[in-house]
Amino acid sequence: MRIATWNVNSLKIRLPRVEEWLGYARPDVVCLQETKLADATFPHLAFSALGYESVHHGGGQWNGVAILSRVGVDDVLAGFASPLDPDSDTRIITARCGGAVVSSVYVPNGRSLDSDHYQYKLAWLGKLRQHLDLVSGPDERVAVCGDFNIAPEDRDVWDPKAFVGATHVSQPERDALGALEERGLVDAFRARYPDDRLYSYWDYRAGDFHEHRGMRIDLVLLSQPLAVGVTWALVDRNARKGKLPSDHAPVLVDVAD
DNA sequence: ATGGTCGAGTATCGA
């Protein structure tokens, strides 16, 4: 089973690129973030034409997450599981796909360490951990995929010195990610490439992509039963090139069926 | 690491 995650930064703009990419990447399950669509305008038909069922949680304009699957989509849950407080934004959707519990997540950016939005980010990450406890058992096949807006380690940013005092690298958010890993989730791409400095996001500005000024913030977290079966992983940098790219590249992971 | 760009929507704001 091939699992992928991609922050598309507006599915309205990006649909042609996503369709093209599905045609050659051939993932079985795709987690999309930042669709920036309302549910009523989500292009289910375009995906069903390519063999994918799709579910979406969006409010239009900002945020918005989706799961595409050609191995089934059941038990769909938009937002955090009860009894957690509802999220004010549309940042998580969970479904059962091909025997795994899959969540597509768009973790809040945080903006700056002194921002209310940073506190929201930390609280959101805490609720994500609780959500996963509510929707999955300890030995279950679980894939939490998305834009975490966290670089797990300093080598996951192009220059750690440039990020001193910034979000995405602060200890509290890394600790929150660590709490998910303590729960048994494995950063599948890092496990596959222990030493490589490979990124999944590059700011549109200043030619960052071509200058290799990126960050690895798009993660595929797998529970142990899935993580042990990983056979291949890739950041598809080609999808960041060319006409009208997202500022994120897709991350793909193959796991044993 | 902003400032250089995008995409929301049409003046700015968010990333």
Nearest nucleotide to A11 (CA to C1') is: B7
pLDDT of A96 higher than 90: yes
CA–CA distance, A236 with A17 (Å, rounded to integer): 13
pLDDT of A257 higher than 90: no
The reply to whether A162 has its C-beta less than 7 Å from any atom of strand B is yes
| % of residues, chain A, pLDDT over 90 | 99
CA of A32 to C1' of B6 (A): 18
Q: Strand B: list positions under 7 Å from protein Cβ.
A: 1-9, 14-15
CATH-assigned architecture of domain A2-255: 4-Layer Sandwich (3.60)
CA of A172 to C1' of B10 (A): 38
pLDDT of A163 higher than 90: yes
A37-43 long-range contacts (CB < 8 A, ≥24 apart) are A37/A11, A37/A12, A37/A64, A41/A12, A42/A11, A42/A66, A43/A11, A43/A15
Q: Tell me which protein residue sits closest to nucleotide B4, measuring alpha carbon to C1'.
A: A206
The overall average pLDDT reported for chain A is: 97
CA–CA distance, A100 with A226 (Å, rounded to integer): 9
How confident is the model over A124-138, as pLDDT tens digits? 999 999 999 999 999
Q: Tell me which protein residue sits closest to nucleotide B3, measuring alpha carbon to C1'.
A: A206
SS (H, E, C) A83-102: CCCCCCCCCEEEEEECCEEE
Catalytic residues of A: 106, 147
Which residues of chain A (23-42) touch nucleic strand B at CB < 7 A? 36
Per the confidence metrics, is the pTM higher than 0.95? Answer: yes
Domain boundaries, chain A: 2-255
pLDDT of A176 higher than 90: yes
CB-CB contact of A157 with A215 (8 Å):
yes
Give the full edge-to-edge strand order of the sheet including A2-7.
Answer: A53-57, A65-69, A29-33, A2-7, A251-255, A230-235
The reply to whether A232 has its C-beta less than 7 Å from any atom of strand B is no
How confident is the model over A10-61, as pLDDT tens digits? 999 999 999 999 999 999 999 999 999 999 999 999 999 999 999 999 999 9
